[in-house]
Amino acid sequence: MDQVLSYYPGCSLHGTASEYDASTRAVCELLGIRLEELEDWNCCGASSAHAVDHELSVLLPARNIALAAKADKDLFIPCAACYGRSKVAQAAMTEDAGLRAKFGEAVGMEYRDGVAIRSMLDLLADPDVLQRIRAGVKRPLRGLKVACYYGCLLVRPPKITGAADYEAPETMDRVVEALGGTAVPWSYKTDCCGGGLVLGRPDVVGRLIDRLMTRAVEAGAAALVTACPMCQGNLDTRQKDAAQALGRDYQLPIFYISELIGLAMGHPKPEAWWKKHLVDPRPLLGTI
């Protein structure tokens, strides 16, 4: 099946989360989904615009939605924060004629919509996509026990995301099982990692990360799996400091779900992704 989607990578996937970008593109290619990067996209405002200026936090993603409407395809946004902000903006623009008028004035282009915004979870929840993944597994992840970590914005608030299982989502768990791995049950799937607080209060973020890491280890996980560059970045780069500050000894690789799909479907060069991780997943992958 051939499918074409507009692709909004966002700032993180063009920077520290480049392995999420690369593995997402690789997996979509393996699944026969063509991605066309939205031309001249801008930052969605992420965790800061909404704290400072409500109207701006709508106008920024609205410009990207208008660009996608011109391209006339569904808009795929793998970053959880970009996805969340874009969905909030889309709802606000639909409800508020005042905002639509302001958009034309401020941005200098016409607002158009009619675009379905899809997250990584939306993509993976499609039974047809899951079937293609299952059928394409060349190297089953037998023996790999992971905790699927969804974080906040992929599921909350449900009136925006439309998620039905927002307290205990299962989409990534089902994918991990389809890849031949084991998704351990645990209760912290949608607890917050501290996201945007990391520059201002790394000590606070350390406490949040510690709770997640400790609970994942208790549940028997050897790694965590995410679909959010902030969750992955926080957990991968900050767990060493958190463990040191709180006297723990965990050291768990943090995967993007796209990396595990790519690996199991036999992508030829996953090495390039592993090199970007601070906690090197290769020793763990060597055991499966």
Please report how close the Cβ of residue 142 comes to other proteins at its closest, in angstroms.
28
Please report how close the Cβ of residue 129 comes to other proteins at its closest, in angstroms.
26
Nearer to other proteins, 3 or 47 (CB): 47
Nearer to other proteins, 30 or 285 (CB): 285
Nearer to other proteins, 132 or 211 (CB): 211
End-to-end C-alpha distance for the chain, whole angstroms: 32
CA distance 241 to 261: 29
Nearer to other proteins, 2 or 40 (CB): 40
Please report how close the Cβ of residue 179 comes to other proteins at its closest, in angstroms.
25
Please report how close the Cβ of residue 99 comes to other proteins at its closest, in angstroms.
11
Nearer to other proteins, 200 or 266 (CB): 200
Residues listed for the chain: 288
- Interface residues toward other proteins, by CB under 8 A: 11-12, 14-16, 18, 40-43, 45-54, 56, 59-60, 63, 106-109, 152-153, 156-158, 166, 190-192, 194-197, 199-204, 207-208, 211, 237, 241, 275-278
Please report how close the Cβ of residue 166 comes to other proteins at its closest, in angstroms.
6
Nearer to other proteins, 181 or 281 (CB): 281
Please report how close the Cβ of residue 8 comes to other proteins at its closest, in angstroms.
12
Please report how close the Cβ of residue 238 comes to other proteins at its closest, in angstroms.
8
Nearer to other proteins, 141 or 154 (CB): 154
